[in-house]
Amino acid sequence: MSIESARRRREIGPDDGRRKRRERNREAVIEALLGLIRAGDLDPTVVKIAERAGVSHRSVFRYFDDMADLTRTAFEREIEATARLASIHRYGHGSSEDRIAHLVETRLRMYTATHLVSRVARAKSTVIEEVDRQLAGIQDAVEAQHEGQFRLELDRLDAERRARVLDAILVTTSFESFDLLLRLRGRSVDEIGLTWRLALQALLDEAGAE
Protein backbone atom coordinates (compact mmCIF):
# COMPACT_ATOMS: atom_id res chain seq x y z
CA MET A 1 0.00 0.00 0.00
CA SER A 2 1.42 3.31 -1.03
CA ILE A 3 1.59 6.18 1.33
CA GLU A 4 -0.80 8.00 -0.94
CA SER A 5 -3.50 5.34 -0.83
CA ALA A 6 -3.05 4.90 2.89
CA ARG A 7 -3.63 8.56 3.32
CA ARG A 8 -6.67 8.42 1.10
CA ARG A 9 -7.94 5.51 3.07
CA ARG A 10 -7.50 7.39 6.27
CA GLU A 11 -9.45 10.22 4.77
CA ILE A 12 -12.19 8.22 3.12
CA GLY A 13 -12.44 5.24 5.44
CA PRO A 14 -13.60 6.96 8.60
CA ASP A 15 -15.77 9.24 6.48
CA ASP A 16 -17.51 6.26 5.00
CA GLY A 17 -18.08 4.76 8.41
CA ARG A 18 -19.44 8.04 9.61
CA ARG A 19 -21.77 8.31 6.67
CA LYS A 20 -23.06 4.80 7.23
CA ARG A 21 -23.59 5.40 10.92
CA ARG A 22 -25.34 8.61 10.11
CA GLU A 23 -27.58 6.86 7.61
CA ARG A 24 -28.34 4.08 10.11
CA ASN A 25 -29.21 6.54 12.86
CA ARG A 26 -31.35 8.58 10.55
CA GLU A 27 -33.30 5.45 9.63
CA ALA A 28 -33.61 4.53 13.29
CA VAL A 29 -35.12 7.95 14.06
CA ILE A 30 -37.68 7.59 11.26
CA GLU A 31 -38.61 4.10 12.39
CA ALA A 32 -38.82 5.25 16.00
CA LEU A 33 -41.33 7.97 15.13
CA LEU A 34 -43.48 5.60 13.06
CA GLY A 35 -43.20 2.89 15.71
CA LEU A 36 -44.33 5.22 18.49
CA ILE A 37 -47.31 6.41 16.46
CA ARG A 38 -48.31 2.84 15.59
CA ALA A 39 -48.09 1.99 19.28
CA GLY A 40 -50.65 4.71 20.00
CA ASP A 41 -48.51 7.71 20.91
CA LEU A 42 -49.94 10.13 18.38
CA ASP A 43 -47.67 13.01 19.28
CA PRO A 44 -44.34 11.67 20.51
CA THR A 45 -41.77 14.07 21.94
CA VAL A 46 -38.25 14.36 20.54
CA VAL A 47 -36.93 12.82 23.75
CA LYS A 48 -39.09 9.73 23.30
CA ILE A 49 -38.12 9.41 19.65
CA ALA A 50 -34.42 9.69 20.46
CA GLU A 51 -34.74 7.17 23.26
CA ARG A 52 -36.45 4.61 21.07
CA ALA A 53 -33.98 5.18 18.23
CA GLY A 54 -31.04 4.83 20.61
CA VAL A 55 -29.55 8.18 19.66
CA SER A 56 -29.00 11.33 21.64
CA HIS A 57 -31.74 13.90 21.86
CA ARG A 58 -29.57 16.48 20.12
CA SER A 59 -28.55 14.29 17.23
CA VAL A 60 -32.16 13.99 16.04
CA PHE A 61 -31.80 17.51 14.71
CA ARG A 62 -28.46 16.72 13.13
CA TYR A 63 -30.37 14.38 10.83
CA PHE A 64 -33.45 16.53 10.33
CA ASP A 65 -33.96 20.27 10.06
CA ASP A 66 -36.80 20.21 12.53
CA MET A 67 -39.78 18.17 13.66
CA ALA A 68 -41.71 19.03 10.49
CA ASP A 69 -38.85 17.72 8.33
CA LEU A 70 -38.72 14.47 10.30
CA THR A 71 -42.50 14.10 10.17
CA ARG A 72 -42.80 14.56 6.41
CA THR A 73 -39.86 12.22 5.78
CA ALA A 74 -41.52 9.56 7.92
CA PHE A 75 -44.83 9.94 6.10
CA GLU A 76 -43.04 9.69 2.75
CA ARG A 77 -41.54 6.42 3.98
CA GLU A 78 -44.94 5.11 5.08
CA ILE A 79 -46.48 6.04 1.73
CA GLU A 80 -43.77 4.16 -0.17
CA ALA A 81 -44.00 1.15 2.12
CA THR A 82 -47.77 0.80 1.77
CA ALA A 83 -48.17 1.71 -1.92
CA ARG A 84 -48.57 -1.94 -2.86
CA LEU A 85 -51.74 -2.13 -0.72
CA ALA A 86 -53.41 0.32 -3.11
CA SER A 87 -53.58 -2.07 -6.05
CA ILE A 88 -57.10 -3.23 -6.85
CA HIS A 89 -57.89 -6.86 -7.64
CA ARG A 90 -59.02 -7.23 -11.29
CA TYR A 91 -58.77 -3.49 -11.77
CA GLY A 92 -61.45 -2.15 -14.11
CA HIS A 93 -62.91 -5.61 -14.75
CA GLY A 94 -66.09 -7.39 -13.68
CA SER A 95 -69.63 -6.33 -12.95
CA SER A 96 -70.38 -2.98 -11.37
CA GLU A 97 -71.00 -4.78 -8.11
CA ASP A 98 -67.66 -6.61 -8.28
CA ARG A 99 -65.73 -3.47 -9.04
CA ILE A 100 -67.37 -1.64 -6.16
CA ALA A 101 -66.61 -4.53 -3.80
CA HIS A 102 -62.97 -4.72 -4.91
CA LEU A 103 -62.40 -1.01 -4.51
CA VAL A 104 -63.99 -0.97 -1.05
CA GLU A 105 -61.93 -3.98 0.00
CA THR A 106 -58.72 -2.31 -1.17
CA ARG A 107 -59.42 0.93 0.67
CA LEU A 108 -60.35 -0.83 3.89
CA ARG A 109 -57.17 -2.92 3.75
CA MET A 110 -55.04 0.17 3.27
CA TYR A 111 -56.72 2.20 6.00
CA THR A 112 -56.69 -0.64 8.50
CA ALA A 113 -52.96 -1.12 7.95
CA THR A 114 -52.09 2.56 8.19
CA HIS A 115 -54.78 3.85 10.53
CA LEU A 116 -52.79 5.64 13.24
CA VAL A 117 -50.04 6.98 10.98
CA SER A 118 -52.68 8.24 8.55
CA ARG A 119 -54.55 9.90 11.38
CA VAL A 120 -51.46 11.76 12.48
CA ALA A 121 -50.65 12.69 8.87
CA ARG A 122 -54.13 14.21 8.52
CA ALA A 123 -53.78 16.16 11.72
CA LYS A 124 -50.33 17.41 10.69
CA SER A 125 -51.41 18.29 7.17
CA THR A 126 -53.14 21.35 8.56
CA VAL A 127 -49.88 22.71 9.86
CA ILE A 128 -47.14 21.22 7.68
CA GLU A 129 -47.57 22.37 4.12
CA GLU A 130 -45.36 19.64 2.71
CA VAL A 131 -47.64 16.97 4.23
CA ASP A 132 -50.60 18.75 2.67
CA ARG A 133 -48.94 18.37 -0.74
CA GLN A 134 -48.15 14.70 -0.07
CA LEU A 135 -51.80 14.02 0.68
CA ALA A 136 -53.00 16.02 -2.33
CA GLY A 137 -50.67 13.95 -4.52
CA ILE A 138 -52.16 10.73 -3.17
CA GLN A 139 -55.67 12.03 -3.81
CA ASP A 140 -54.85 12.68 -7.47
CA ALA A 141 -53.68 9.09 -7.86
CA VAL A 142 -56.77 7.83 -6.06
CA GLU A 143 -59.08 9.84 -8.28
CA ALA A 144 -57.39 8.47 -11.41
CA GLN A 145 -57.92 4.99 -9.98
CA HIS A 146 -61.63 5.65 -9.52
CA GLU A 147 -61.92 6.91 -13.08
CA GLY A 148 -60.43 3.68 -14.37
CA GLN A 149 -62.42 1.44 -12.07
CA PHE A 150 -65.78 3.05 -12.90
CA ARG A 151 -65.22 4.27 -16.46
CA LEU A 152 -68.31 2.43 -17.67
CA GLU A 153 -70.67 4.21 -15.28
CA LEU A 154 -68.94 7.59 -15.36
CA ASP A 155 -68.83 7.83 -19.14
CA ARG A 156 -72.62 8.11 -19.19
CA LEU A 157 -72.47 11.41 -17.32
CA ASP A 158 -71.93 14.95 -18.51
CA ALA A 159 -68.71 16.61 -17.35
CA GLU A 160 -70.23 18.46 -14.41
CA ARG A 161 -72.08 15.48 -12.94
CA ARG A 162 -69.13 13.22 -13.58
CA ALA A 163 -66.92 15.57 -11.54
CA ARG A 164 -69.42 15.73 -8.68
CA VAL A 165 -69.95 11.95 -8.59
CA LEU A 166 -66.17 11.43 -8.58
CA ASP A 167 -65.88 13.82 -5.65
CA ALA A 168 -68.63 11.99 -3.79
CA ILE A 169 -66.89 8.64 -4.36
CA LEU A 170 -63.59 10.07 -3.20
CA VAL A 171 -65.10 11.48 -0.01
CA THR A 172 -67.19 8.40 0.73
CA THR A 173 -64.22 6.03 0.54
CA SER A 174 -61.71 8.47 2.03
CA PHE A 175 -59.56 7.87 5.06
CA GLU A 176 -61.51 10.67 6.75
CA SER A 177 -64.76 8.75 6.31
CA PHE A 178 -63.12 5.53 7.59
CA ASP A 179 -61.74 7.27 10.65
CA LEU A 180 -65.01 9.04 11.40
CA LEU A 181 -67.11 5.88 11.18
CA LEU A 182 -64.63 3.67 13.03
CA ARG A 183 -63.51 6.01 15.77
CA LEU A 184 -66.34 8.47 16.23
CA ARG A 185 -69.32 6.30 15.27
CA GLY A 186 -67.86 3.08 16.70
CA ARG A 187 -68.52 1.00 13.56
CA SER A 188 -66.67 -2.20 12.69
CA VAL A 189 -64.64 -2.49 9.49
CA ASP A 190 -67.33 -4.84 8.09
CA GLU A 191 -70.07 -2.32 8.81
CA ILE A 192 -68.06 0.38 7.08
CA GLY A 193 -67.68 -1.95 4.10
CA LEU A 194 -71.46 -2.39 3.85
CA THR A 195 -72.01 1.37 4.14
CA TRP A 196 -69.53 2.17 1.40
CA ARG A 197 -70.80 -0.51 -0.99
CA LEU A 198 -74.36 0.74 -0.59
CA ALA A 199 -73.28 4.35 -1.08
CA LEU A 200 -71.21 3.61 -4.19
CA GLN A 201 -74.04 1.58 -5.70
CA ALA A 202 -76.42 4.48 -5.14
CA LEU A 203 -73.94 6.97 -6.58
CA LEU A 204 -73.14 4.85 -9.65
CA ASP A 205 -76.32 2.83 -10.28
CA GLU A 206 -78.28 5.86 -11.18
CA ALA A 207 -75.39 7.38 -13.06
CA GLY A 208 -77.24 7.19 -16.38
CA ALA A 209 -80.65 8.29 -15.19
CA GLU A 210 -81.72 11.80 -14.45
Partner 1 sequence: MNGPRLRPVDPDEPAAVGGGGEASEAAAGVVEAVEEEDGRRQRRRRNREAVIRALLDLIEEGDIDPTVGAIADRAGVSHRSVFRYFDDLNDLGRTAIEQQFRETLPLGVIPGVGTGPFDERVTAIVEARLRVYTRTARLWRVAVVKAPRIPEVERGLQMVNDVLADQVRRHFATELDRLPGDEATAVADALTSLLSFEAYDLQVRLFDRDVDQLRRQWTLAVHRLLASEPDR
Instruction: Return the number of the residue (42 or 152) whose C-beta is nearest partner 1.
Output: 42
132 binds partner 1 per the rule CB under 8 A: yes
The size of the interface with partner 1 (CB under 8 A), counted in residues, is 48
Count other C-beta atoms under 10 Å from residue 71's C-beta: 21
DSSP state of 86: G
Scan residues 146-205 and list those touching partner 1 (CB under 8 A). 160-161, 163-165, 167-168, 170-172, 174, 176-177, 179-181, 184-185, 187, 191-192, 194-199, 201-203, 205
Instruction: Answer whether 128's CB lies under 8 Å from 70's CB.
Output: no
Min dist CB 1 to partner 1, Å, is: 54
Min dist CB 199 to partner 1, Å, is: 4
122 binds partner 1 per the rule CB under 8 A: yes
Instruction: Answer whether 40's CB lies under 8 Å from 30's CB.
Output: no
Give 110: exposed, middle or buried? Use CB within 10 Å, 0-12, 13-18, 19+. buried
Count other C-beta atoms under 10 Å from residue 122's C-beta: 15
Distance CA 28, CA 38 (A): 15
User: Taking CB under 8 A as the rule, which mask of x and - marks residues 34-73 in contact with partner 1?
Assistant: --------xx------------------------------
Angle among Cα 81, 86, 89 to the nearest 5 degrees reads: 135
**Can you give the binding site for partner 1, defined by CB under 8 A?**
42-43, 119-120, 122-129, 132, 135-136, 139, 160-161, 163-165, 167-168, 170-172, 174, 176-177, 179-181, 184-185, 187, 191-192, 194-199, 201-203, 205-206
